[in-house]
Amino acid sequence: MGGGGGACAIVFLLFNLLLLSRNSFSHPLCIDSSKFLHSFVVSMFRSSIPVWHFLSVFYLCRTDLLLCFFLDYVLLAAAPLTLNASLSFCGYDGSSCCNSAQDSQLAKQFQAMKISNPGCSSLLKSVVCSRCDPFAAELYPAKRPVPVLCNSTVAATSSQSNQADTNFCSQLWDTCQNVSMLNSPFAPSLGGQAGLPNNSNSTKLTDLWQSKSDFCTAFGGESADDSVCFGGEPVQLNTTGTSTPPAPPNGLCLEKIGNGSYLNMAAHPDGSNRAFFANQPGQIWMATIPDQGSKTTMGVDEASPFLDLTDVVNFDTEFGMMGIAFHPNFAQNGRLFASFNCDKVKWAGCNGRCSCNSEVNCDPSKLAPDNGAQPCQYQTVVAEYSANATSTTPSSATSAKPAEVRRIFTMGLPFRSHHGGQILFGPDGYLYFMMGDGGGTGDPYNFAQDKKSLLGKIMRLDVDNIPTAQEIANNSFWGNYSIPSDNPYKLDADLQPEIWALGLRNPWRCSFDSARPSYFLCADVGQDQYEEVDLITKGGNYGWRVFEGNYAYKPPATPGGNTLPSSINPIAPIMGYNHSTLSKNEGSASITGGYIYRSQTDPCMSGRYLYADLYASNVWAGTETPEDSGNFTANSIPFSCTKDSPIPCTTVSGSDAPSLGYIFSFGQDNNNDVFLLASSGVYRVVPPSRCNYACSKENATAAAGGPAPSAPGASSASQLQRSSRVVVLLLASLLFMFSCI
């Protein structure tokens, strides 16, 4: 921003504030210092990305376009720390976004402001310290130098925050307006910009702002159902009236729409009613998804796969094609990705560095024979393919070429199990790659905690900027990708640059909430006690194998050493279940992660996280109370198959329960409808009334003439209307921004 930037900044700030009132991402999260919204928007414009592309990026986040705007910022947030002692200056204890070093930095910053008035001084101290609040990421949207100050005098109705009814902004103005301070964070030109000003002059609020109303328009904000504001005290979610979670759904109703046994489903990125399904041996099909209520099966021609990689995929109990992902701009660029296992004895292309190597204190020649005839005989591969050559536009392509376009990743595996393999484009456009600890009971080499190993990690790769072969070699990358500049190694130099999160055992199915991109949930398969669901954050350590869930874990053998519990700050699971609670054979439980349900089809499931056990005896709905708190309670819920299912379901002998076989995975289509991918076929969640599960919300929507369960189009239309308002606002803001640059 050049001259005249001040005015631009103010107007831009105002636009931002209009937009901010619509955000929703409020589980506890800390500010990330490495990037902020303002530079993000500017850099998008400078990189000459056409506006339609920009819009298609928005389009990706179907349910709330606005979120895409904040995405970058929100996704970068890290989980709060768990403190042993309270901070000596700021006083936060338990959960906080500051460690003691940051606390003393804030103390210095505050003292440098030289505020003489005691009343104002204590208010400003609380403002400065709000950076340590576990909700700091939300209090400081777009890296404002000042948190959102609660300004509501009337809206005491927030179910979100207790601060709803304090008018802290007004109180701050009244107390501090005539008080001089150095380096005032309230300078108008700072709107939307990071850091404190470098202004040695002493200023009063009245020097900077015409009136309380101007001041509070810029810095104030209300606590709404999906956001919090700062009211002078640490953020307290309003639990009164909401501490008992809404009753779990009475049941999950399914219909069977396909006979195929798939491990992966991916909605067609063009937004149509099509989706891709991939099986473990290595074939991908494109299928049409029937309308809800049409009582027809999915349209798929088993004889003509979209892509067949069975020649290169090594298929065995724990091996095969483990993931597929379509580039967010697939409809324009035809790029698709497959994640699979291969056998280097059988295929020359299966030739990567061994994950057991001297850098991680592992000698491949000493690995147990579980690894195969040769060390690292089995490998994990992510490869890129193209649908370009088979059609004039990728969107109309009905097949892709099996010739590999580019190798994204190859790594030799130490054992035969726990190698995850899911790939997923995040709402930020980066490729997330889920990797297990590599197998062996209790992660013998301690790979999941080893920051130099990529086993037991979630990786985040940039597949849009491919470095030269020389750069790849220089950086010892495992393939053709680059590292997003904001990956957490920037904050922790010990981490390999690919790593986004660590301490996972075998992440089996992760998803981003389509309504709230900061909710990145992964189920992580346990050893023999606990199956867990984790809320994945930047740089988060999920504890394995120091912990299994919240339980301390003792491995039977530790050739690779141990990690001291006191040396890590593990993040506890948000949901899960004991193996013993399934009362099955010991060790038989294995979690399969699903989705936060966002379809209108089953309004009683709305907003709940759906997951299951592989053995299909249990399905859970996780309910968050209060809403947006990150505090989930899971309930095992009944499930059944509707009598009028397009393909009749078989039942478990001697009961009404549908016999699903194994629940391998879940899927989500472009209507946000959720699917269970089971060994016996593809099942879709349908309105609960079709299984006689009572759901008063379903009756309410039907009675109100709203989105009838059989016509999901209606709900998308209202969603679109809501969203288009935001788009207009966004465009106005961006165009304005453009004229400022």
Ligand X SMILES: *[C@@H]1O[C@H](CO)[C@@H](O)[C@H](O)[C@H]1NC(C)=O
Choose the stretch contacting ligand X; rule: CB under 6 A; options: 214-222, 306-314, 361-369, 597-605.
214-222
Does position 259 interact with ligand X (CB under 6 A)? The reply is: yes
Q: Which of residues 410-429 bind ligand X (CB under 6 A)?
A: 410
* Most distant CA pair in the chain, distance: 81
Does position 217 interact with ligand X (CB under 6 A)? The reply is: yes
Whether the CB-CB separation of 659 and 649 falls below 8 Å is answered with yes
Does position 455 interact with ligand X (CB under 6 A)? The reply is: no
Q: Which of residues 8, 9, 13, 17 is near ligand X by CB under 6 A? A: 17
Residue 227 or 672 having the CB closest to ligand X: 227
The beta-strand segments (E) located in 387-430 are: 401-412, 423-425
Q: Which of residues 26, 102, 238, 645 is near ligand X by CB under 6 A? A: 238
Does position 719 interact with ligand X (CB under 6 A)? The reply is: no
Q: Which of residues 631, 650, 679, 710 is near ligand X by CB under 6 A? A: 631
Residue 241 or 705 having the CB closest to ligand X: 241
Does position 43 interact with ligand X (CB under 6 A)? The reply is: no
Does position 241 interact with ligand X (CB under 6 A)? The reply is: yes
The beta-strand segments (E) located in 145-260 are: 149-150, 181-182, 202-203, 220-221, 252-258
Q: Which of residues 305-344 bind ligand X (CB under 6 A)?
A: 333-335
- Per-residue contact string for residues 113-152; x = within reach of ligand X by CB under 6 A: --------------------------------------x-
Tally of CA atoms within 13 A in the half-sphere of 542 that contains its CB: 33
Residue 160 or 665 having the CB closest to ligand X: 160
Does position 386 interact with ligand X (CB under 6 A)? The reply is: yes
Residue 76 or 253 having the CB closest to ligand X: 253
Minimal distance in Å, beta carbon 560 to ligand X? 25
Residue 220 or 420 having the CB closest to ligand X: 220
Burial class of residue 48, CB neighbours in 10 A (0-12, 13-18, 19+): exposed
Residue 188 or 559 having the CB closest to ligand X: 188
Does position 395 interact with ligand X (CB under 6 A)? The reply is: no
Whether the CB-CB separation of 596 and 523 falls below 8 Å is answered with no
Rounded Cα gap, residues 197 and 217, in angstroms:
20
3-class DSSP assignment, residue 640: strand
The beta-strand segments (E) located in 416-491 are: 423-425, 431-435, 457-461
Kindly give, in sequence order, each residue whose CB lies less than 8 Å from that of residue 298, ignoring residues fewer than 6 positions away: 257, 258, 287, 288, 289, 290, 682
Does position 216 interact with ligand X (CB under 6 A)? The reply is: yes
Choose the stretch contacting ligand X; rule: CB under 6 A; options: 37-45, 95-103, 270-278, 621-629.
621-629
The H or E element spanning position 446 is none
Residue 159 or 671 having the CB closest to ligand X: 159
Q: Which of residues 157, 294, 296, 550 is near ligand X by CB under 6 A? A: 157
Under DSSP, the state recorded for 609 is E
Residue 439 φ/ψ region, left for φ over 0, alpha for ψ in the -120 to 50 degree band, beta for the rest: left
Does position 625 interact with ligand X (CB under 6 A)? The reply is: yes
Rounded Cα gap, residues 199 and 493, in angstroms:
33
Rounded Cα gap, residues 168 and 643, in angstroms:
57
Q: Which of 84, 254, 272, 376 is nearest to 647 (CA)?
A: 254
Choose the stretch contacting ligand X; rule: CB under 6 A; options: 65-73, 120-128, 240-248, 598-606.
240-248
Does position 696 interact with ligand X (CB under 6 A)? The reply is: yes
Instruction: Return the amino acid letter for 277.
Output: F
What CA dihedral angle connects 234, 551, 75 and 685, to 10 degrees? -110
Q: Which of residues 47, 210, 470, 583 is near ligand X by CB under 6 A? A: 470
Tally of CA atoms within 13 A in the half-sphere of 513 that contains its CB: 28
Instruction: Return the amino acid letter for 482.
Output: S
The beta-strand segments (E) located in 426-506 are: 431-435, 457-461, 499-502
- Per-residue contact string for residues 581-600; x = within reach of ligand X by CB under 6 A: x-------------------
Minimal distance in Å, beta carbon 216 to ligand X? 3
With b meaning 16 or more CB within 10 Å and e meaning fewer, what string describes 302-321?
Answer: eeebbbbbbebbbeeebbbb
- Please work out the total of residues on this chain that contact ligand X, with binding judged by CB under 6 A: 62
**Tokens standing for residue 90:** 């700021």
Which residue, chain included where needed, has tokens 């061994």? Answer: 354
Instruction: Count CB neighbours of 688 within 10 A.
Output: 25
Residue 100 or 332 having the CB closest to ligand X: 332
Minimal distance in Å, beta carbon 155 to ligand X? 9
Rounded Cα gap, residues 439 and 3, in angstroms:
59
Residue 310 or 333 having the CB closest to ligand X: 333
Residue 75 or 459 having the CB closest to ligand X: 459
Residue 151 or 665 having the CB closest to ligand X: 151
Instruction: Return the amino acid letter for 584.
Output: K
Q: Which of residues 272, 273, 288, 529 is near ligand X by CB under 6 A? A: 529
Rounded Cα gap, residues 30 and 135, in angstroms:
6
Does position 86 interact with ligand X (CB under 6 A)? The reply is: no
Choose the stretch contacting ligand X; rule: CB under 6 A; options: 130-138, 538-546, 577-585, 655-663.
577-585
Does position 297 interact with ligand X (CB under 6 A)? The reply is: yes
Minimal distance in Å, beta carbon 561 to ligand X? 25
Q: Which of residues 480, 541, 645, 680 is near ligand X by CB under 6 A? A: 480
Does position 180 interact with ligand X (CB under 6 A)? The reply is: no
The beta-strand segments (E) located in 642-724 are: 663-668, 674-678, 681-686
Does position 198 interact with ligand X (CB under 6 A)? The reply is: yes
Cα radius of gyration rounded to whole Å, the chain: 26
**Tokens standing for residue 678:** 């089971």
Residues that bind ligand X (CB under 6 A): 17, 21, 151, 156-159, 162, 164-165, 177-178, 198-199, 201, 213, 216-217, 220-222, 237-243, 245, 259, 297, 333-335, 386, 388, 404-407, 410, 468, 470-472, 474, 479-480, 529, 578, 580-581, 625-626, 629, 631, 633, 647, 689, 694, 696, 699
